[in-house]
Amino acid sequence: MAAVNPYLTFGNNCETAFNRYKAAFGGEFLTLVRFGEGAPDQCAPAEKDKIMHVALPIGKNTILMGSDSMESMGPIAAGNQFSVAIQADSEAEADHLFNSLSAGGQVHMPMGKAPWGAYFGMFADQFGIQWLINFDYAQQG
């Protein structure tokens, strides 16, 4: 497994929060994609400028990631603002982790090709913990 990173979910202020984090930690965003750019057919017009995905390196081996929540995902409340993001080393590892961890839980998005060039899926495990599994095709070299 390549990395485990925190993933934060916001109601409508992800960009403001991540600009604050960027000012505190320094560095530059690795990625900043809005719903209107990454998933224009899957979002309401009012959500097109919300953040679909942002990534900010903090420290040597950690990437702080986040997004705004779409209305279809329900309201943000204490307990659903945080996910564990796994960066897998292969599609096979991503599938194994997804299938093992999601058993008995609720799949929100099955593993599949994502608009940012990755193999991605998300779910809540049987204990209510939110997980994001990602394999970045660019790391295949």
Domain map (residue ranges) of the chain: 3-132
Contact between 14 and 54 (Cβ < 8 Å): yes
Complete edge-to-edge strand list for the sheet that includes strand 82-87: 31-34, 51-58, 62-68, 3-10, 82-87, 130-136, 118-124, 106-114
- Quick check: helix, strand or coil at residue 23? helix
pLDDT digits (tens, 9 = 90+) for 55-73: 999 878 889 999 998 777 7
Region 121-141: mean pLDDT is 85
| The pLDDT value given to residue 133 | 94
Is 0.85 surpassed by the pTM of this model? no
- Give percent of the chain above pLDDT 90: 49
> What's the CATH architecture for 3-132?
Roll (3.10)
Task: Assess whether pLDDT exceeds 90 at residue 128.
Answer: no
How many residues are recorded in the chain? 141
